[in-house]
Structure 1
């Protein structure tokens, strides 16, 4: 047992407190204060605040030279109204931790508790509490922050709880683990007219309809896996005396490789531009929530596999990458990374569902995996 019973209970209660006070991406000020307060008695060798926004990093130093290993979790919640009958229900209207970031924070807090007693013998261990994962902006902000140079890692590890898999199961995969994605908005502009004389204007209605159908068919012509999901469309405004002049289509484009995603974006722009030209419309594009593909490095993957085997955990080798995205993927471009899954239960509500609640039983499993990984590099 990595942690005593009292510590496990303390972490569970801390997780429930975090669950009650979720904050959205980029707004995690109070969450960061709670984390900082938890670590005040753990005596890390260095504490970095304001990292990429409200991010925090706690550094535990060894006496001998060695690698720098980063363990990362997420601070932010979601703009989703919770629908649960739990005692630690979210107290913030229309905001919740229904992705399990509260549990991930509790795991890294438990890791801090362990390292406060069992300092690494060599190298440095960095515990990163990263902001703004849900929007895909946090990892980039952290990496671009000059303070990140102080903790530039040789390895980076993270986990994500995964409903639909047996409780405590470890899900591993070499190479691509989670997809690259981006949110694309296509704006059409025509010309208003009186709704009694629509022929005098230029409505983008037909272009809107054609674009919706054509976008989702785009992946059929792609060699590698890709997916376009139209998530929103809007035509004009509610004005019954006026024909519309504007329209917007919003879609999420994803692929297992950054290059394939970028190619898909290029094809989507070409397609929409052709449709706009066909109907004599102006067109523009903008993008949000850009996530890099998460690629697991062979060396980091082997370390994670060995750790899971030594702990006697049930291991599932994933065949295909997951379609969802994780901004941890950006760390893949800078260091040797491993993102692995931690099963949340076969019948557990899925991520982002309003009745999701992180299983506290996973806290000790997550801490155990990270400690076992650290032992291979720092002890």
Structure 2
């Protein structure tokens, strides 16, 4: 079965939804206008229930099928990024400093397209829970929705999500069993010295050499404290210090990210980073503080559900499904939902050319929205067939 004909028939309407969302991006938990747009469309479709205000601006909508059965959860993220768009497109962001640079406008559109079809046909048993969440990029909105009890409240038994994938051919699905995306942690290092005139450094306690040594020593965690065949990334991404060429600053801020798959590796990294920061500070006779925040856990696909997802994708795109073991160092807060219920996260190629995610010239490929919507529909219909 290729793209469902009925969904293909309203692809132009889906493009309109997506481009409207693209023009009005919102950040984090503040997806007020986006959530209102989603709820308005869902009411037009005639879904049975809409539950708003979950994780501030998230919502869950229920569509009941024919007869008793389980509940499948389908998730889309709604938030944008704090990036200034440079595409120059007619539907470019109208909000300065904000844009949908990760394709969440497209994810929301795919789930809306599936909702419209499922509400029309109801060719499934049980129910489907449409999960529209805020704050995937920052804030862990998916985790907040889980903490607020959506899985038990709505009786969700399995859960699925799609993410668009620049760099893969248009319409190709990619997934696999087990870990597919990494856990993400953030570290903040505050090095505190005594500033003064740069001509008299002996009268200061310069925090810059200490910060430089900390950054250099942190790199040895990967190369010397970690088994080389396990995945680990530590990246220092920010160093802020000073205000003029003749002033020794009194503080330095160092920031970065850690990507892992094994909680034991996370523990090791935090322990070694704590030791390095304390040791380097002591060697320079100044103070330094490490704040180590654990954020999203690893995104781990259920083996059985990932196979089911791949089989379903093949119904839509034939042999354009890549099913393999393999993982990326990016992160996703859908991981919280997969910790709560079995399910699968799948990527949908949007073209081999063009900018990658989180770039100011990125734009979602509207041609793949009907593909994703059809996949969502068939997941439900295959998982919960009408007897």
The two structures share one fold, judged by TM-score above 0.5:
yes
Give the CA deviation at 1:241: 5.7
Determine which of 127, 130, 135 is the counterpart of 1:127. Answer: 130
Q: Any gaps of 5 or more consecutive residues in structure 1? A: none
Give the CA deviation at 1:6: 4.3
Q: Sort the Cα spacing of 1:313 and 1:107 in 2 relative to 1 into closer, same or farther, 3 A.
A: farther
Determine which of 351, 366, 377 is the counterpart of 1:360. Answer: 366
Question: Partner residue of 2:355?
Answer: 349
For residues 66-110 of structure 1, the C-alpha deviation after alignment (integer angstroms, 9 at most, x for no partner) is: 222111011100011111132101111111111111100000000
1:184 matched to 2:190? The reply is no
1:282 matched to 2:274? The reply is no
Question: Partner residue of 2:254?
Answer: 249
Question: Partner residue of 1:321?
Answer: 327
Question: Partner residue of 2:338?
Answer: 332
Determine which of 301, 309, 314 is the counterpart of 2:306. Answer: 301
Partners of 1:7 and 1:258 lie apart in 2 by 45
Q: Sort the Cα spacing of 1:242 and 1:348 in 2 relative to 1 into closer, same or farther, 3 A.
A: closer
Question: Partner residue of 1:163?
Answer: 166
Q: Is the 8 A contact 1:168 1:313 kept in 2?
A: no
Give the CA deviation at 1:147: 5.3
Q: Secondary structure at the match of 2:356?
A: coil
Determine which of 111, 118, 121 is the counterpart of 2:121. Answer: 118
1:195 matched to 2:198? The reply is yes
Q: Sort the Cα spacing of 1:258 and 1:331 in 2 relative to 1 into closer, same or farther, 3 A.
A: farther
Q: Sort the Cα spacing of 1:5 and 1:306 in 2 relative to 1 into closer, same or farther, 3 A.
A: closer
Question: Partner residue of 1:44?
Answer: 47
Give the CA deviation at 1:318: 3.8
Q: Is the 8 A contact 2:7 2:113 kept in 1?
A: no
1:64 matched to 2:70? The reply is no
Aligned pairs for 1:99-118 within 5 A: 99-118=102-121
Partners of 1:280 and 1:194 lie apart in 2 by 19
Q: Any gaps of 5 or more consecutive residues in structure 2? A: none
Partners of 1:218 and 1:39 lie apart in 2 by 50
Q: Secondary structure at the match of 2:334?
A: helix
Partners of 2:308 and 2:23 lie apart in 1 by 35
User: What TM-score, normalized by structure 1, do the two folds share?
Assistant: 0.94
Q: Secondary structure at the match of 1:58?
A: strand
Q: Sort the Cα spacing of 1:48 and 1:259 in 2 relative to 1 into closer, same or farther, 3 A.
A: farther
Q: Sort the Cα spacing of 1:51 and 1:7 in 2 relative to 1 into closer, same or farther, 3 A.
A: same
Q: Sort the Cα spacing of 1:320 and 1:302 in 2 relative to 1 into closer, same or farther, 3 A.
A: closer
Partners of 1:376 and 1:60 lie apart in 2 by 16
Question: Partner residue of 1:233?
Answer: 239
Question: Partner residue of 1:267?
Answer: 272
Partners of 1:286 and 1:113 lie apart in 2 by 46
Question: Partner residue of 1:150?
Answer: 153
Q: What count of residue pairs does the alignment treat as equivalent?
A: 378
Partners of 2:149 and 2:274 lie apart in 1 by 35
Partners of 2:304 and 2:66 lie apart in 1 by 24
Partners of 1:285 and 1:60 lie apart in 2 by 48
Determine which of 374, 380, 384 is the counterpart of 1:378. Answer: 384
Give the CA deviation at 1:278: 1.5
Q: Is the 8 A contact 2:310 2:323 kept in 1?
A: no
Q: Sort the Cα spacing of 1:239 and 1:348 in 2 relative to 1 into closer, same or farther, 3 A.
A: closer
Determine which of 83, 88, 93 is the counterpart of 1:90. Answer: 93
Partners of 1:4 and 1:187 lie apart in 2 by 53
Give the CA deviation at 1:319: 4.1
Give the CA deviation at 1:288: 5.5
Give the CA deviation at 1:262: 3.7
